[in-house]
Amino acid sequence: MNIFFYDTKEYKAGSIPVEAIADCSRGGQDALASVTHWVKELGFDFPPAWAIPYLLPFGAWSEKELQNHEENKLKIFWLICCDLSETNDFIGLLH
């Protein structure tokens, strides 16, 4: 599966392996350690300005809660893995 992500200069930086999707698509806190591992392992990143407009419509976080880029990377990576696990597709921020 070639789901690409981008570094802070908007250059393609890598893809998300099937193993990461399986490890990270468990619910909530159960997946935090796996998500943290894979975000670091893959160097998953994107321009910080992309996060708030993507995450805010979910309604799970306030704009104030979305000010930490490191936490936003975890949230978005987890959401991507869950989408891929459930639908085998991702349409959003980094697709």
Q: What residues contact residue 24 under an 8 Å CB cut-off, 6+ apart?
A: 31, 34, 35, 38, 77, 78, 81, 82
Render 18-60 in DSSP notation, one character per residue: HHHHHHH-S-GGGGHHHHHHHHHHHT----GGGHHHHHGGGSS
Residue 63 lies in a domain: yes
Q: What is the pLDDT of residues 31-61, one digit of tens each?
A: 999 999 999 998 888 888 888 998 999 999 9
In a domain, 49, yes or no: yes
Rounded to whole angstroms, how far apart are CA atoms 61 and 85?
23
In a domain, 94, yes or no: no
Classify residue 93: in a domain, yes or no: no
- Is 39 a domain residue? yes
- Residue ranges making up the domain that contains 57: 4-87
Residue 72: in which H helix or E strand, if any?
A: helix 69-87
% of the chain with per-residue pLDDT over 90: 39
pLDDT tens-digit readout, 70-82: 999 999 999 888 8
Residue at 62 is within a domain: yes
Residue 95, domain member (yes or no): no
Work out how many domains the chain is built from and give that number.
Answer: 1
